Each structure stands twice: as C-alpha cells, then as structure tokens.
Structure 1
C-alpha cells in the first residue's frame, strides 16, 4: 500500500555543531546550541528551537540529531521542557547535513509506517534566533501545500546587510515575504566577499540561505536517490545496523563513516528541479559569531551588551560578558571581552576568522582549554576542576537528585570525598555508608566504589584525588545505569 500525504509535521533538529567561533563560551564539550546566549531568555538555543514551533497544527515530537558525546545534555534539556523526542539519533562524528537529513527521513517513515503516513519534515538548526515567531509560522504554513505536492522548500531570509558569512539563494522571481509566495530556485551562491554581497542584496531575487527546509520524507529520499544513490544506500545500511542505547539510537560507525561528507544544499538542492524558495522576513539570525550575537542582543545607549559582573566607562559598541570575575572596561570600542572560569577572550568584533586560526594553534599545542570546559557535565550531574598539581587534584562534584555514578575503580589514584551539602550514599569495597555535610570517606586505589544521591535534593561534595596519573580515562566501570 502506498503512503499517503498528511499534514503531520516532524521537526528534525540538527544539533551537532561545535560552535567554535563563540569560544571560549562555546566549546566542543559543551557547544553553543546547549547554552542560553541571550540575557533576556530562559531557554537554551536547542530548547527554543522546539518551543517556537511546538504549538503549530500537526506538529509532532522532534527527531534530534546530535553528536554521541552530547546525548545526555540533549536528553536533559528536552526533559526540562517536558518533551520526549520521537528519537535522539547519535552521530559518531559530523558528516554534514545530507547524511543527517537522509537518516532522519528514513527514520521518520519508519516511525509512521504503521499509520501509512508520509510525514512532512521541517529541518531546523539548533543555533538560530527568530524574533517574529508569527511570521515564521506563516511561512511554514504557506509551504505545506508545496511539500504535499512533492516539491522541496528552502527558506530564504530577506537580507538586511551585505553578510559574508551566509550563502545566498537566487530565485527565479523577486522575493516578497509579505505575500508568502514561493519562487523556483535559480541557483546557489557560496559565501561571497563583501563587494559581491553588497551587490546581491540590492537584487530582490537574492536571499540568505537559512539552512531550514520543508518537504515530505519520501520527496527528499527520492531526490537523494536520484543524485546521490550511494548516500541513500549507506544511510539505509547505517540505520539498519544502528543499536539502541537507553533513550538513544546509536548509528553504526562503519557504515556512517562511508557516507559522503556533503551538505543537502550541494547534494540535492543545487541539482533538483523541484526546489522552491519561501521568502522569510522574521528577524532571523544564525548566531555563529560574537559579532552576530552582539547584533541581536539588547544594548545600552552606547551600544554595549553586558552580562555578569561588568562595570563600563567610556565604552562603546562592545560585548562584555563575565561568568565569574569582575570586568572593568574603560575607553574600549568595538570589542568582545569574554571571561570564563579558565579562559579570557579579548578581540575585535569582526575577528571570527582570526579566532578560528587561534583555536587551531591552541589545538596544535594541545591546550585543553581549546575544546573542554573546566565545568564538565555528566548524565548524573557535573564536576568542576578547582585546582590541580602533578600528583593531586581537587574537584567540586554535584550529583542530581536520585542520580548515581557508576560502580567503578581506578588504577592510579585514591580519592577522598567530603560532603558540603546534601546526603550521599557511598559504596566502597562492598560496604555502604550514608554521610552528610562535614562528613567524609576515603576510597583506596584499586577499590570498587560508587557515589549516589538517594534524596530529592542536590548533593555537593569536594573530591580530593591523589596519584601518579589523574586522567579521566583511568576508570574501569562495572555497572552503569547510563549505559556507558
């Protein structure tokens, strides 16, 4: 029996980016899509991506695609907004949008196969800001009929300035976002230089490539099959060999690595005759750099955006953000100043390429700060490295209510736990003990142990490690409720 078209929409949220151009706040271990970047909002970028479309008619639970390293972050952030995704798909590594979207389309058809439904897919990136939600909703609604007819829609944003960080779409006719009328795609233009961008924005046929799409699952798979049958074949094999890991779907590494590293724009949209542009003028911004974040943030009368412990004098058009220390700014202009627990960035607003080069140097020199935060999140909570020597380290550990670490042992270090607040249940060498504030336990080297929070309140403790090797890979797990 053939699948029938319906108005059921499955949001596909692509949450696999690393966000390195927002370093040091965004890093590989905890990238920008999981952060709350704006001062006036309560949700992270990922949470906002779903929240802004959840009330649209026909909208189903999302399929989220992320790096396997971030699976528990995604699960926790969805839980906080009371959303149970249809699927959280784990990529072993990023392979661009064509494999990700192909796998999502295959999975969406599988999810709705028993209902004979060919769902419409709304492809969203987890790092976009949209101010005028109603206009965005109208653009989506006006694209549905086009998708039902088997065509592919890409949302083209009305340009506001000669951006060099976005690709451009040329449509066959002038764009008019007020009428929500689509036009066939003529061609795509890769990120232009400033001179070319200045010319493009004067022509109403050009729009920014938003990286957001809408089409039926079967429609995109047909086009992938026509233009890149190898990608479809590899993705089908990858999904077939995937494994269930708690609430996650872990893609098969070998077949996934065979997938070509290519965007859906290049793989399909630049080749197909079925692509249409839906003009979009809704206060859209891809928060990819510190300058783009400054542009959309609330500012004072001198054009400054500040967050945290910041005192400014004679400062203009700058973004200054403190996580911990007091920052005093005097006589600055057009600067980015970002302070985190272990790194400080001072740069011109338009220096995203220079920042990219600096990060490459940091990685080459194996500086841990390039990719990792001092504050590290785990499925049970988090830990913060406070101080470290060659043979010792002090950590602050926070365990969520009802959570527990794995039953584990270390070959090169002993540990001492001191409870600061809350109640801890400890298991050391087979013996259990419950301890409270100002009480402590000692874990000798090579002894099996486990830490749990049996209460409904957070647990905070200080861990003192001592040994000749203190790496996070010095661990042998025997039992783990999180499947690690």
Structure 2
C-alpha cells in the first residue's frame, strides 16, 4: 500500500458525554469502551494499516501532555502540532497539511477524528485502500458511513458518478436533517458524513487557497513561525488567530469539484451521546449496559456507569445514570443528546464541574483534592517516573508531604533528600521547594495544605522543565 501519514485530530470537548467528558479531559482521552481511550484506539488503527508514517497529532496546550502520556502507554511515537486556540476543523487540518508539506507536499494524509469507534478494522482498511487511487489523482476523499438508521445527528453525502472501483464523485453534501428528510436520504442512498479524509497535502492546500487564500496565508505563516521542540511544534498565535473559523466541510469540501466519497461499513460510531454508548455496550438479558460499581434490579434498557460510588438502580427503564466522584447525571435515554444544555447551564452558573475533573492532569502526573475545609486542603498527588514538579514557592500556604508509595527526591531551600514510604517533609510558608520522581515506578504522596488562601494560582515557578516558569 502507498505510504500514508496519519493526521489525528484531538480538538473537541464532547460535552454531550458529561460528566465523564469535560474540557480538562474530553471524551477522546476517556476510557469509554474497552480498556483504551478512543484516541489510543484511533492511533493504533492508523498504525495497523501497515504502510503509515509517523502520525501527526493536532491538539492544544491543555491536552499536550495527555497526548504524550497516552501515546507512551501504547508504545507509539508521534509528532505533535499545538494550536494556540481553537479555529474549528478547517484551520486545524490545514495546519497539519502545511506542516507535513514542509517535508513533502505529495504526502498522502489520512485525517482521522480521535473520538470515534470502529469495530471492523478490516473494513476500515479496505475503505482506506479504495481511497488511495482517487487521492493520488488529486481528489479530496471523504469516507461516507453506510447508514444503519435515519439519524438526525449527522450530515449526509450524496454520491454521484463512479470514479472507479469503490469511489464516487460527491454530488452534494447535506446538513443534519429532520427525521422525515433523514428517512428520504436513506432511500436515496446517501451516506453519513463521518469527518475522516484522505488527500495529498498539496491538493488540500491548493483547494483551500482557491476558496480562502487569507486563511491559507494566516495558517502558513503560523506554521512557518512555529516554535519547535523535539517532536513538538507550537503554531505562532498571532498568525493563526487571523484564520477564519470554519469546518473543513464549509471551507473546502462543499465548494470544490474535486471531492470524492468512499462508502465505509465498519461498525462506525462517533459516540456522540450516552444513548450511543448504550447501543455499543454489551447488554444483559434486560438490555442494561453497566460499567463500574453498579447494581441493577427490575431495570430495563438502562445505561449505568460509576467511576467511584456504588450506584444502584431499581424499577426504572430507558434511563442514563453516570456517577463520578463529584457529579451525577440522571437522564431519559431518549434525551441523552441534550446533556450539553446541562453543561451550558453549569457554565452559566460558574460551576467548576462543567469543565474540570477532580483529577487534574499535569505534565509530571496528576493530583486530586480528596478533602478541604476552612484554611486546609488535602491532595493525593501521583508523579510519573522521571516526572519533576517545578521549583516553586507559595505566598499564602505551608505544605506537608507524606510519601505513600515509591521514592521521591525532595528539595526544600538548600536541602535535598530522598524519602520513601511513610516518610514525610514539611514545607514552610515561602520556602522554595520541589518534588521529583527519580525511580522507575510512580510516586504517590498525600499533601496537606494549610493557609489563608489555597488556590492554584498561588504558585511562583522559579524553574520548570516543562517551560511553565
């Protein structure tokens, strides 16, 4: 098979899957089906094609270290392109194409959304192979999913004239329809628009320039002036901000006469709601799908998931219950797509649960608050091997660390010492300090903070290997 460069898109928030999916850890990084995130599954699926180059992952600063951590967990190396702000899929895909074109504009790029499921990977591979010929002849190929029902949550693609075996010209794109029109689309042989693409880097850039030269100039400038580290490029913010905020469909595909579609029937799902997860799950005899610490009695057609507290359901049908450590969602399963309205209401009322998880990910690992009260806060902190917190100090709080597992190197002022399990250290108010993991296993500590102000912005970073100082 002709070599392909996967371009993995990691920009969405997935608010319809709240409370599991939030801005700090959106659905593509969560474990929803199986034992890997959909991002990890997408990367492995692209690598399994057998003739792929090193993937390029487009993400943002907030999620960079999640990307690196999850890539390390599956043993895949990839390059990372960081957007300074979200400008929708058009500028993001264009930036990826410009970055790849720096090396070779003839490179075939396979654009994959990182938040989708594919259950038949052989059928997926066959669809990609069918798209290579049209892509090499400068068509912009999109993959249309063969519908299983008249869905109103997706756009549709109407195939036109055949281009060859397995591919057709796109006659037209259609917006998300109402139920009646969706049924008509199925009878007419239309396909779901899955948002995955295959094209030459130069072909995409050329078509984009025909329809929006200003955005191509802005994104090209952001790529040319990107700040580069080993394997990571951060787009220049001012240039990128001048790119028009548009989806790739509006920006290019709905205007070009080079669009082609390859039908794909591979058990695809965008996991757009809790109802979709119910349909993907392994149901019991009562059509219930459960995950985590759950007990069911006289319940039917329910999706129930718990990430902590024991959750029991009695005498209910067709509902969704999702329990996390700080939030609980209970919804009619048929209205699961409206969860994003709950999130909007939470944001309007300033609820932190709308966007942030109790477990907060950092470049060195993660922490979560396990108790708090007047003038005190208790955190559980886990530092990955080779992880190193910044050299820092606080203006309003003192801290006490107790090592639970692993061996930590602790700096307090001019003193550096190593602590093992059940050993502790006190960090006085204003003292310069640092925590490091020099071993091969995670370090877990309990941190007790005490002071008049305990916010995360009370950190003065003096030195930091993650460039946050």
Task: Sort the TM-score into its range (normalised by shorter chain).
Answer: over 0.9
- Which residue does 1:74 correspond to in 2? 67
- Measured in 2, the distance between the counterparts of 1:180 and 1:411 equals 68
Does 2:197 match 1:197?
no
- Which residue does 1:259 correspond to in 2? 243
Q: Is the 8 A contact 1:21 1:288 kept in 2?
A: yes
Q: Is the 8 A contact 2:16 2:338 kept in 1?
A: no
In structure 2, do the counterparts of structure 1 residues 311 and 155 end up closer, same or farther at CA, with 3 Å as the change threshold?
same
- Which residue does 2:363 correspond to in 1? 379
Normalising by structure 1, what TM-score? 0.94
- Which residue does 1:105 correspond to in 2? 97
- Measured in 2, the distance between the counterparts of 1:330 and 1:180 equals 53
Q: Is the 8 A contact 2:273 2:337 kept in 1?
A: no
Per-residue deviation at 1:363? Answer: 0.6
Does 2:122 match 1:127?
no
In structure 2, do the counterparts of structure 1 residues 392 and 180 end up closer, same or farther at CA, with 3 Å as the change threshold?
farther
1:42-441 mapped onto 2 (5 Å cutoff): 42-85=35-78, 87-112=79-104, 118-172=106-160, 181-204=166-189, 206-245=190-229, 247-441=231-425
Per-residue deviation at 1:173? Answer: 5.1
Per-residue deviation at 1:353? Answer: 4.5
Per-residue deviation at 1:292? Answer: 1.1
Q: Is the 8 A contact 1:245 1:483 kept in 2?
A: no
Counterpart secondary structure, 2:47:
coil
CA RMSD of aligned residues (A): 1.6
Decide which moves more: 405-414 or 350-359: 350-359
Counterpart secondary structure, 2:195:
strand
- Measured in 2, the distance between the counterparts of 1:265 and 1:209 equals 10
Counterpart secondary structure, 1:138:
helix
- Measured in 2, the distance between the counterparts of 1:422 and 1:297 equals 37
Per-residue deviation at 1:174? Answer: 9.0
Per-residue deviation at 1:438? Answer: 2.1
Per-residue deviation at 1:111? Answer: 3.0
In structure 2, do the counterparts of structure 1 residues 476 and 319 end up closer, same or farther at CA, with 3 Å as the change threshold?
same
- Which residue does 1:34 correspond to in 2? 29
Runs of 4+ residues deviating >3 angstroms: none
Q: Is the 8 A contact 1:180 1:279 kept in 2?
A: no
Per-residue deviation at 1:217? Answer: 0.5
Any idea what the Cα deviations from partners look like across 1:437-479, whole Å, max 9, x if unmatched? 2221111111110011222222111101111221111111111
How many residues are paired up?
468
Mind listing any 5+ residue stretches in structure 2 that lack a counterpart?
Answer: none
Any idea what the Cα deviations from partners look like across 1:147-185, whole Å, max 9, x if unmatched? 11111111111111111111111122599xxx9621111
Per-residue deviation at 1:390? Answer: 3.5
Counterpart secondary structure, 1:271:
coil
- Which residue does 1:3 correspond to in 2? none
Normalising by structure 2, what TM-score? 0.97
- Measured in 2, the distance between the counterparts of 1:101 and 1:237 equals 15
Counterpart secondary structure, 1:7:
coil
Per-residue deviation at 1:245? Answer: 4.5
Does 2:16 match 1:21?
yes
Per-residue deviation at 1:71? Answer: 0.2
Q: Is the 8 A contact 2:321 2:329 kept in 1?
A: yes
Does 2:449 match 1:460?
no
- Measured in 1, the distance between the counterparts of 2:54 and 2:371 equals 43
- Measured in 1, the distance between the counterparts of 2:450 and 2:198 equals 55
Q: Is the 8 A contact 2:396 2:429 kept in 1?
A: yes
Q: Is the 8 A contact 2:399 2:426 kept in 1?
A: yes
- Measured in 2, the distance between the counterparts of 1:476 and 1:411 equals 8
